[in-house]
Amino acid sequence: DAKTTQPPSMDCAEGRAANLPCNHSTISGNEYVYWYRQIHSQGPQYIIHGLKNNETNEMASLIITEDRKSSTLILPHATLRDTAVYYCIVRAPSFTGANSKLTFGKGITLSVRP
């Protein structure tokens, strides 16, 4: 799986958009970008994934640059409950067995302030 680079932390004000960047300059053509988050003392939660088109769901939007070397997760109206560690992961979709495992890096800690 390609390596990702995220800043260690960022903060934003409640109600404002939170834009979380991720660099993945070695991404391969068939690799997807996934985002998960982990709220303190809870299990990781899947947020969104994409290949090359921008994606949106009820939780967030994912913007992937045209060259696919970076992406941004957007939480449009951050709340205090969005305070968490956010992980950007790049991986190919087809794998079997224990290669299906997820590998989380250090992620980015988002702090939403009142």
Partner 1 sequence: DVKVTQSSRYLVKRTGEKVFLECVQDMDHENMFWYRQDPGLGLRLIYFSYDVKMKEKGDIPEGYSVSREKKERFSLILESASTNQTSMYLCASSLVSGSPREQFFGPGTRLTVL
Cα distance between residue 33 and residue 4, in whole Å? 10
Q: Which of residues 40 and 66 has its CB atom nearest to partner 1 in the complex?
A: 40
Cα distance between residue 38 and residue 35, in whole Å? 10
Q: Which of residues 23 and 38 has its CB atom nearest to partner 1 in the complex?
A: 38
Question: Which residues are CB-neighbours of 34 under 8 A, at least 6 positions away?
Answer: 46, 48, 49, 88, 89, 90, 91
Which residues form the interface with partner 1 (CB under 8 A)? 32, 34, 41-46, 49, 91, 93-94, 96-98, 100-106
Asked if 79 and 112 touch (Cβ cutoff 8 Å), the reply is: yes
Q: Which of residues 21 and 44 has its CB atom nearest to partner 1 in the complex?
A: 44
In whole angstroms, the minimum distance from the beta carbon of 43 to partner 1 comes to 3
Cα distance between residue 93 and residue 102, in whole Å? 12
In whole angstroms, the minimum distance from the beta carbon of 111 to partner 1 comes to 18
In whole angstroms, the minimum distance from the beta carbon of 36 to partner 1 comes to 8
Q: Which of residues 53 and 94 has its CB atom nearest to partner 1 in the complex?
A: 94
